[in-house]
Amino acid sequence: VTTLEDPDTPFAVVDRARMERNIGRLGMRLDKLGVPLRLHVKTAKSLEVAERVHPTGPGPITVSTLAEAEYFADAGYTDIVYAVGIEPHKLARVLGLRRRGVDLQVLLDSTAQAEAVADASARTGEPIPALVEIDCDGHRAGIRADDPALLVIGRTLVDGGAELRGVLDHAGESYYADTPETQRQAAQEERDAVVRAARRLQEAGLSCPTVSVGSTPTAHAATDLTGVTEVRAGNYVFFDLVMAGIGVCAIDDLALSVVVTVIGHRPDKGWILTDGGWMATSRDRGTAVQKVDQGYGVVTDLSGRVLPDLLMSGASQEHGTLSLRTGSTQDLPELPVGTRVRILPNHACATAAQYAEYRVISGDTVSDAPEIEATWRRHNGW
């Protein structure tokens, strides 16, 4: 039997029971709302994780890179949205995937991109389906739902030989909405923006079959998704301290952690040193802007029980520093050299990206040395 005491540290662990609970929770929500999920695979980048979301076989997914699209296509996924604005140079790979029978849809928010997609479609006689990115909160890319460019882009696609598949938005600002009310409002605005954009296209005689929304916070907050045809979410399979910090989940829902080992002590400084630095957790410090700054992560014992007030407070490349939260009245726990602990990360997408694989524990029972039941690969890169 291999347990979390066995592989050399650091390594990434997935608690399957927690992950399945997270998957079940959103699944039930969306069932009630009557809108299907298009899993975003950018967080886990794992076929086995996607299999838990789509247990009856490949379903609709969202990708953040063409490498993900190719990897999932190899495993039989044929309904894929590439949800980063298309860069014309990448259309060759997009066409390559489409020729393999993958309904890969691209995203864009400018006439320049629409012209490039139309040109590639016309040149090859293969209409590439595109979604127009709508901006609902000024967070990142996209055009506003009432922007005159929307119809120009739509017509450029259709007239040029491409396919206008619909509209898509992402309430990126919802990651900073830290009350149920502001999250619900973000979900409402995310829905309203794409529905409005879709209506404008339809009123102009352009077809708009897909109306896509999504972010982990809004997917959990939405109460009305009338007019929406799909919800995208990915982080929720693992969740993380940033999501816990805004109340979308509890600490006990965090399904991804990193196992590290104590390699030293600095009692003069109140530090416990480990062999897990920022290479093991990433440099992500998402909770630094939240109400409670969790440093590089919350520390649990190997069984997953939180060690009160102990944080991973510092990191160099392969060294981590554990210390008590400022103002804590706890004593620094006794963790001799060789003791293993787990770090719950700020940002699951960033921490998972530091690894090529996950060790999987069932998570069904509490154990001092949880058994590793499987190893799941991740597919990194571009």
Sign of CA dihedral 268, 271, 275, 279: negative
Beta bridge partners of 130: 106, 164
Peptide bond into 10 cis (omega under 30): yes
72 binds a second copy (CB under 8 A): no
Choose which of 46, 113, 212, 229 interacts with a second copy (CB under 8 A): 113
C-alpha–C-alpha distance, residues 203 and 124, integer Å? 30
* Window of 97-105, 207-215, 282-290, 364-372 that interacts with a second copy by CB under 8 A: 282-290
2 binds a second copy (CB under 8 A): no
46 binds a second copy (CB under 8 A): no
User: Three-class SS of residue 119?
Assistant: helix
Q: Are 379 and 32 in contact (CB under 8 A)?
A: no
State which of positions 226-255 bind a second copy (CB under 8 A).
none
369 binds a second copy (CB under 8 A): no
Which DSSP string corresponds to 201-270?
Answer: HHHTT----EEEE--HHHHHH-S--TT--EEEE-GGGT--HHHHHTTSS-GGG--EEEEEEEEEEETTTT
Choose which of 354, 360, 372, 378 interacts with a second copy (CB under 8 A): 354
Choose which of 22, 105, 110, 183 interacts with a second copy (CB under 8 A): 110
C-alpha–C-alpha distance, residues 309 and 325, integer Å? 5
Structure tokens belonging to residue 158: 């259709």
* Window of 2-10, 152-160, 202-210, 370-378 that interacts with a second copy by CB under 8 A: 2-10
Nearer to a second copy, 67 or 306 (CB): 67
CB of 154 to a second copy, least distance (A): 17
Nearer to a second copy, 158 or 335 (CB): 335
Residues 6+ away with beta carbon under 8 Å from 158: 164, 206
Choose which of 264, 330, 368, 374 interacts with a second copy (CB under 8 A): 264
Q: Which amino acid is at 62?
A: T
Give the x/- contact pattern for a second copy in 296-335, rule: CB under 8 A: --------------------xxxx-x--------------
C-alpha–C-alpha distance, residues 326 and 299, integer Å? 15
CB of 111 to a second copy, least distance (A): 9
Binding site for a second copy (CB under 8 A): 8-11, 42, 64-66, 84-90, 93, 109-110, 112-113, 116, 138, 140-141, 172, 261-266, 269, 273, 275, 278-279, 282-285, 316-319, 321, 336-338, 347, 349-350, 353-356, 380-382
